[in-house]
Every structure is written in structure tokens, then in C-alpha cells.
Amino acid sequence: MITNLVNDDPVAEVARLREGVSQLRVSVDELMRAATTADKEYREVLEAYRMFAHSRGWLKRMEHSIESGLSAEAAVEKEQSEARARLQTVPDPYLRDRLHDLDDLANRLLRILTGQGRETGAKMPERPILVARTIGPAELLDYGRRLRGVVLEEGSIGSHAAIVARALAIPLVVQAERITTEALNGDQIIVDGTAGVVHLRPDESVATAFRDKIAMEAQAQARFAALRELPAQARCGATVSLHMNAGIMADLPSLKGSGAEGVGLFRTELQFLLRSTMPRRSDLAALYARVMEAAGGRRVAFRTLDIGSDKVMPYMRRPDEPNPAMGWRAIRVGLDRSGVMRMQLQALIRAAAGRPLTVMFPLVSEMAEFLAAREILMREIERERHLGHPLPETLEVGAMLETPSLAFAPANFFRAADFISIGGNDLKQFFFAADRENELVRRRYDTLTLSFLTFVQKIVARCAEAGTPLSFCGEDAGRPVDALALAGLGVRALSMRPASVGPVKDLIRRADLGEVAEIIATARRQGVENLRPRLLSYVDQLPRD
């Protein structure tokens, strides 16, 4: 607990803060050096973590608080509280997970400033399970492989801590409500990282069932690994392309290991949201070039900035909007503030440097928006040509279909787009009028409801008529049964988190998409509202290799 809230000497407090930050950076650098021979995945995580530690904007905000009269510790705590408040307003769970690193850095800096180490004198038990509200990647690395499991009240499976836990083969469960108040030191606990379930003080029957499940999971993982280099080809002969979602360099090592064919969605917001000033074009170009190099020639679809409403850059005036999710965001901001879009497109063109380039614009609601954005891109291509810079070998320009209105756009739109990517998360919330951040309604509606599947089938038909490639990106693409239904409707490309590629591929290879299509058609004729029970029954009857 911080007791000295104000300072008597701002100059001395700023110096003390800088010394603490310097020690913090040294500790992060030491972690980097210790990881030089370790798994590449969490080396990449530490590089991103190091970026936060060296953020000049972060330090300047704390220095400004000290100049206003706060002590160094109080300034750190103030910045930490404001960062947590910002976390609550960011709708994208991916970005929230990345911003948790700032919380972890603040905790480490506070320990340095207050002289409180991590050692409490308590003895580490055998096969320890760590229970906490949240944890950052560096703190998790401090524990290392001594831990047998981690249970957190906050966070998600896409967080940096989850990436590190996966790299260290430590089971991790997030969103375990009240676990820090319910669990006591010495309690027995079972952590099921695959299902995201925690059993606190389990009886023997639960423990026996869990041991049996571990044996079955080991067999399943071996099966997924064996499929890594094989296509997601169904028994009927149809093939579905499986891609992964990413947003930072730390995600790219998962590309090869997951068996994904490429990156179906690379989010570009993070580099803009975590800086106190607009990033330079050269910095963005260097980052995008590293992404392409890390992809090793595989296709990477770069989504232009999806900012606005709650995802507002610190250096950009935030409008007051009653309904931010349906407000001034994504392509609407890009077209109204075309200077930012032009700069990002220039960076992408220069990053390609003669390689193929794939760009897609988010939240397109009507054809005119897509044509205007594509025209800006083509003007930048021409500008780069006049400057003598190498142009992309090939150029794909696509749109994310996230609003129902775009499904009814003129046929010319579908012919004009090189590809369409259904943004499933946003499309569902607009289709069902259910805010995906509202716990009261977000689980109320099912992807496998006939009305939603019929709507997706309409999009499939319109793309097929125009000969335009179609993909589906979002959480549902990574759920095997949901992915199977989408493939049965005719969606032949899915983009998901890396860990989902194996299970989705396994199910598709065991299924017949013609049979899935017939199940959907029969349900439609019979007036069945939800297809999940029928598809689950079908999956249960499928043979296993």
C-alpha cells in the first residue's frame, strides 16, 4: 500500500522515477537475454513487452503527474488506474489483452520504487498452482516451469500471459470468477486448460475422470500434430483453407506450428493505440515488412485501422457518441481523416517491396465506401511508382462484411472486391441487435440459428455469382462444429486463433460437407430454429481415423 502520496521535491521524485524505470528496463532486458536460447514464441512476446517498458509516452505521463505534486509511487498508481479504466472501454478483447502488459509493468515498477521484492519467505509447494487476479508475461516467466498451472480472474486465451503459458506448457484458465477469494493455500485444485475449467477441492470421482481425460487429450493432440501438413479436405473432396488471426509479431511464430496456410486477419490498431504520438511511416513500414518476412511467403491480409469510438488514439480527439459500436469508427474514420489512411497504405506498399500485398478495409457498409477507399489505395500505388519505389508484385483489395447492409449491395460491389471476409463477431451483433460486450445478451443468440445461417448462405451465393473469394473471420470460425456448419454452407476459407486450426481441420477431414449441407436444408424445410443439436449428433457419429 502506498503511504507517501505527495512529494516535497518534484525534481528528486522525477529522478527516482527515472531510476526505477531504468531498473525495470534492465530487468526486462535480462529476461530477453535469458530467453535467447528459449522458445521463439515467448521471445517474441518479450520483445513486445520490452516495447511497452521503453514507451516514452508512458514515462512522460507519470512525470507530468509528479510535476503536479504526486509522489513517484502515486504517479505510477495513477497511470495504472487510468490504464485499467481504458481497458474497460476498449471493445476489442485482443487489444485489451495486449494492454494488460501495462498493468504488469506498473506492478513491477511499484515493487522497485517501494523496495518490495517478490520473495515473501513462503515455501513453494510441490506441483504449485498459481491463483491470481491477473499476471503479466514477465512475471509468469519469473516463475517459469516450476508452476503446474495458472488460474486467473481476468484475461483471455489470447493474452501475452497465455502465449507464455502455452510456450512453457503450463495449463492456464482465465475468467475464473471469485477464485482468489474461494481458494486457500494448500487446497487441491484441478486445472483443465483445454476446457477452461477449474475444479476446486475436487472429490475422487472428478479426479479419476480428469485423469482419463488427460489420456484422451494426449491422443487428440498427437492426431492434430499429424495433420499439420495435410489439407483440411473433407471426405466429399471439398477443401477448406484455414488461416490464423494475428496482431503483433509475437503471434507469427504460431503460423507454421498451427498448420495454418496464412494470416487471414492482421490487426493494425495496436501500434497506433499504444503511442502518445502518431507512429512514423518508416516505423510502420519496418513492422509490416517483418510481419511479411515472418510469414515466410504465406498470404497475410492486413486490415486497415479499425479505430474510432472506444478505440481512440491518445493524440486524436474522441467524439462523444451514445452508441460507439455503431458510430464513427473503422473505414468511416479512414475516409474522413484520409491522411492517416494514406500514411498507413504508404507504409504497407513500401513494406511489400515487390512482394504480394493483401489489404482489406473494415466495417464497409456500402459500395461507395469501398470504392472510395480503394481509390485512395490506387492513388498511393501510383504515387509510389512516380517516386521510383518498388510496387507490390500482386495486389488484393478486399472488404470486411460486418454490417447486414453490405450483403444487399449492388452486384458491382461483389465484382469490384478481390475478396470478401465476413467479420463474424460484428456481423452477429448487428444481425441480432445484441451488443457482444454486454454479458446480459451476448450469449443469448447462437451462430447455428437457422436465420443467421440463412443470411450467411445468401452472402455465399452472392460471392459465388460474382466469382469473388469469401472467407469467415471470427470466434465462430475457430469452434469446430460452427466451422463445419459454415463450410457446409459453402464458405471455403476460415480464419481463427492458431490453437483452433488443428481441431477444426480434424473435424472437417472426418466429415462430408454434402451431408452437412443436407442437414441444414432438411432443418430449413422442417422449420427447425437451431441446428446445433442436429450437427452435434452428426459429429458424434463420425468415424475417427
364 and 476 in a common domain: yes
CA distance 150 to 523: 42
Say if residues 462 and 414 touch (Cβ distance below 8 Å): yes
234 and 212 in a common domain: no
Which set of grid coordinates corresponds to residue 67?
A: 510535476
Distance of CA 100 to the CA centre of its chain: 13
CB-based contacts of 230, cutoff 8 Å, min separation 6: 259, 505, 509
Is the residue at 287 inside a domain? Answer: yes
208 and 255 in a common domain: no
Q: pLDDT-derived band of residue 298, with 50, 70 and 90 as boundaries?
A: very high
527 and 387 in a common domain: yes
Is the residue at 529 inside a domain? Answer: yes
Say if residues 290 and 48 touch (Cβ distance below 8 Å): no
Task: Give the range of the structural domain holding residue 308, as residue numbers without chain letter.
Answer: 227-540
Q: What is the average pLDDT score of the chain? A: 83
Q: What is the pLDDT of residue 324?
A: 66
Q: pLDDT-derived band of residue 246, with 50, 70 and 90 as boundaries?
A: confident
Is the residue at 216 inside a domain? Answer: yes
Q: Which of 492, 482, 489 is nearest to 524 (CA)?
A: 489
393 and 301 in a common domain: yes
Asked if pLDDT for residue 540 goes beyond 80, the answer is yes
Is the residue at 370 inside a domain? Answer: yes
239 and 267 in a common domain: yes
Is the residue at 105 inside a domain? Answer: no
234 and 196 in a common domain: no
DSSP 19-40: HHHHHHHHHHHHHHHHTTTS-H
- Give the domain CATH number at 339: 3.20.20.60
pLDDT tens per residue, range 4-59: 777 778 888 899 889 988 888 887 777 666 655 455 555 666 666 677 777 777 88
| Structural domain count of the chain | 3
Q: Burial letters for 486-507: b for 16+ Cβ neighbours within 10 Å, e otherwise?
A: bbbbbbbbbbbbbbbbbbbbbb
pLDDT tens per residue, range 125-167: 778 888 888 777 667 767 767 788 888 887 766 566 776 677 6
301 and 361 in a common domain: yes
Is the residue at 108 inside a domain? Answer: no
Domain boundary among 222, 257, 275: 222
Q: What is the pLDDT of residue 37?
A: 47
81 and 153 in a common domain: no
Q: What is the pLDDT of residue 390?
A: 94
315 and 375 in a common domain: yes
The mean pLDDT of 207-215, rounded to a whole number, is 70
Which residues on adjacent β-strands are paired with residue 423? 473
Is the residue at 122 inside a domain? Answer: no
Asked if pLDDT for residue 284 goes beyond 80, the answer is yes
- pTM equals 0.67
pLDDT tens per residue, range 424-459: 988 998 999 888 766 677 778 899 999 999 999 999
pLDDT tens per residue, range 456-495: 999 999 999 999 999 999 889 999 999 999 999 999 999 9
Residues labelled catalytic: 160, 473
Asked if pLDDT for residue 274 goes beyond 60, the answer is no
Domain boundary among 188, 222, 256: 222
Asked if pLDDT for residue 196 goes beyond 60, the answer is yes
Domain boundary among 178, 201, 222: 222
301 and 171 in a common domain: no
Which set of grid coordinates corresponds to residue 182?
A: 474461494
Is the residue at 46 inside a domain? Answer: yes
545 versus 388: the higher-pLDDT residue is: 388
63 and 164 in a common domain: no
- Give the domain CATH number at 180: 3.50.30.10
pLDDT tens per residue, range 333-382: 889 888 889 999 999 999 999 999 999 999 999 999 999 999 999 999 99
